[in-house]
């Protein structure tokens, strides 16, 4: 409805107020709504504006004497620039001339899918500030609190995204230049209307780019974002860096593979992956020390230790030589024995529903899978022939299938060789 209504008319006023005892001036700013227009349908917003203006700027005349009723001086802190939302990022891309309406959504989707940025909320932090109030000729000092740094549904760069950006800016500054990207977009528009031959445009770009790529692959230094944190209580140095499987903290000195081969008795460093809630830029020495408290034993269950740790595939609970993944949102360092037992029972119940036969003496199981029943021996799986019923299989039947069937290994497909 508002889109069909007339524009609102507002009168902005700026008032300079001289101070009788000083050279400086005070400034008051406000708005008066002269005609409601489309704001009429936004009654709540309109009332807020009216109320604010009523208290901020009463009717004033040039040369009028104003008596000081109250003056407030509050401590202020500089604020960092606001992080992008998906909408504000699109607006920025439009301003820079990068991309087109058809490419904005795929671009934002891609950088999230590749984990260069993540969309999330960030809770605010409470801090104190000082406020002075001058009223009735007296000054009153107060220490108040405010919440700052709260973010909602904003795009945050990940450790991986920061390192990739640093690498590209270092090695491909001419391509990551905003003007270069905007210029390419303009050339694409001219190609679309037939003003430029696309073969020549691509050729002019690709030849120097390819030559630069060949040089870069040979000379570029690997960027790990390595940062020294301090010394662990055991005396070993701690540093945070990006590794093959993500951000991690290293305790001790990293050794060259050749040096380690020549000196097998050398003390090897220890590694600990960062938690989901942590990032390389904000990680402190205290946070890093806590990471090496894992793995730790938090109790016993089924006459075996219950161990909590963080591995290659994330946080886990280990019991009876079996691993149980800790769900997202639960910190491994703070999980209790009761919570760990709940995870174990839930996973074992799920596994029990999958189990059809178990032949532990041969380390063989018949299981229900996503695509039907199959035989599992170690890391190898065997397909059950269509003329066999899984629940009716005997040990001899299972061993016979294993003997006469090509296995498939998890993560690797095997194909029968042609004679």
Q: Which domain holds residue 323?
A: 296-353
Whole-angstrom CA distances from 227 to 157, 240, 257, 281 are 18, 5, 21, 9
Do residues 234 and 286 both lie within one domain? yes
What is the Cα–Cα distance from 390 to 384, expressed in whole angstroms?
Answer: 7
Q: Is the four-CA dihedral 200, 203, 209, 212 of positive or negative sign?
A: negative
Confidence of residue 181 (pLDDT cuts 50, 70, 90): confident
- What's the pLDDT tens digit per position in 377-406? 888 899 898 888 888 899 899 999 988 888
Radius of gyration of the chain (CA): 33
Is 419 part of any domain? Answer: no
Peptide bond into 375 cis (omega under 30): no
What is the Cα–Cα distance from 155 to 118, expressed in whole angstroms?
Answer: 6
What is the Cα–Cα distance from 269 to 271, expressed in whole angstroms?
Answer: 7
Tokens representing 21?
């005892």
> Taking CA 311 as the corner, what is the angle to CA 305 and CA 317, rounded to the nearest 5 degrees?
30
Is 242 part of any domain? Answer: yes
pLDDT at position 276 is: 75
The single-letter DSSP state of residue 81 is: P
Residues 408 and 381 sit within 8 Å (Cβ to Cβ): yes
370-409 burial, b at 16+ Cβ within 10 Å, e below that, comes to eeebbbbbeeebbebeeeeebeebeeebbeebeeeeeeee
pLDDT at position 173 is: 92
Is 399 part of any domain? Answer: yes
**Residue 415 or residue 355, greater confidence:** 355
Q: Is the pLDDT of residue 54 over 60?
A: no
- What's the pLDDT tens digit per position in 271-291? 888 877 788 988 999 999 988
Is 247 part of any domain? Answer: yes
pLDDT at position 415 is: 45
- What's the pLDDT tens digit per position in 343-361? 999 888 887 778 888 888 8
Is 416 part of any domain? Answer: no
What is the model's pTM?
0.61
Pick from 157, 175, 69: which is nearest to 117 by CA?
A: 157
What is the Cα–Cα distance from 327 to 306, expressed in whole angstroms?
Answer: 17
Tokens representing 227?
């940062």
- What's the pLDDT tens digit per position in 64-93? 998 888 989 999 999 888 899 999 999 999
Do residues 284 and 328 both lie within one domain? no
Do residues 162 and 184 both lie within one domain? yes
Residue where a domain terminates, one of 291, 316, 334: 291
What is the Cα–Cα distance from 365 to 30, expressed in whole angstroms?
Answer: 77
Do residues 207 and 185 both lie within one domain? yes
Is 266 part of any domain? Answer: yes
- The listed range with the strongest mean pLDDT (35-39, 207-211, 261-265, 360-364) is 207-211
Is 218 part of any domain? Answer: yes
Share of the chain above pLDDT 90, in %: 41
For the segment 213-231, the average pLDDT, to the nearest whole number, is 90
Q: Is the pLDDT of residue 257 over 80?
A: no
pLDDT at position 44 is: 59
Residues 69 and 135 sit within 8 Å (Cβ to Cβ): yes
Give the rounded distance of the alpha carbon of 96 from its chain centre. Answer: 25
Is 417 part of any domain? Answer: no
* Domain count across the chain: 6
The single-letter DSSP state of residue 360 is: G
Average per-residue pLDDT in the chain?
Answer: 86
Per the listing, tokens 């809630």 go with: 277
Do residues 261 and 286 both lie within one domain? yes
């Amino acid at each position: 409805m508002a889109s069909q209504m007339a524009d609102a008319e507002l009168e902005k006023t700026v008032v300079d107020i001289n101070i009788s005892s000083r050279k400086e001036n005070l400034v008051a700013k406000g708005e008066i709504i002269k005609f409601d227009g489309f704001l009429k349908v936004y009654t709540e917003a309109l009332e807020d504006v009216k109320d604010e203006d009523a208290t901020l700027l009463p009717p004033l005349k040039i040369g009028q004497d104003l008596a000081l009723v109250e003056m407030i001086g509050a401590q202020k802190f500089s604020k960092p620039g606001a992080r992008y939302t998906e909408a504000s990022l699109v607006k920025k891309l439009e301003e820079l001339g990068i991309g087109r309406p058809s490419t904005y959504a795929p671009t934002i989707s891609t950088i999230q899918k590749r984990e260069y940025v993540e969309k999330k909320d960030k809770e605010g932090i409470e801090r104190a500030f000082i406020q002075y109030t001058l009223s009735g000729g007296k000054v009153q000092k107060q220490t108040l609190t405010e919440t700052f740094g709260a973010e909602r549904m904003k795009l945050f760069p990940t450790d991986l995204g920061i390192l990739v950006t640093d690498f590209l800016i270092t090695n491909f500054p001419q391509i990551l230049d905003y003007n270069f990207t905007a210029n390419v977009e303009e050339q694409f528009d001219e190609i679309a209307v037939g003003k430029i031959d696309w073969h020549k445009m691509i050729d002019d770009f690709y030849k120097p780019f390819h030559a630069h790529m060949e040089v870069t692959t040979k000379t570029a230094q690997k960027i790990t974002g390595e940062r020294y944190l301090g010394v662990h209580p055991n005396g070993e140095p701690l540093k945070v860096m990006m590794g093959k499987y993500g951000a991690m903290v290293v305790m001790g000195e990293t050794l060259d593979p050749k040096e380690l081969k020549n000196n097998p008795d050398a003390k090897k460093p220890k590694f600990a992956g960062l938690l989901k809630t942590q990032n390389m830029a904000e990680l402190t020495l205290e946070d890093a020390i806590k990471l090496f408290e894992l793995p730790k034993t938090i109790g016993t269950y089924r006459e075996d230790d219950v161990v909590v740790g963080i591995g290659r595939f994330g946080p886990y609970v280990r019991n009876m030589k079996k691993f149980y993944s800790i769900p997202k949102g639960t910190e491994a360092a703070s999980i209790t024995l009761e919570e760990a037992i709940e995870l174990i029972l839930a996973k074992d119940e799920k596994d029990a529903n999958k189990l059809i036969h178990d032949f532990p003496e041969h380390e063989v199981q018949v299981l229900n899978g996503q695509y039907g029943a199959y035989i599992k021996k170690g890391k190898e799986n065997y397909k059950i022939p269509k003329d066999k019923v899984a629940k009716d299989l005997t040990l001899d039947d299972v061993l016979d299938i294993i003997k006469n069937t090509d296995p498939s290994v998890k993560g690797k497909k095997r194909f029968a060789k042609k004679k």
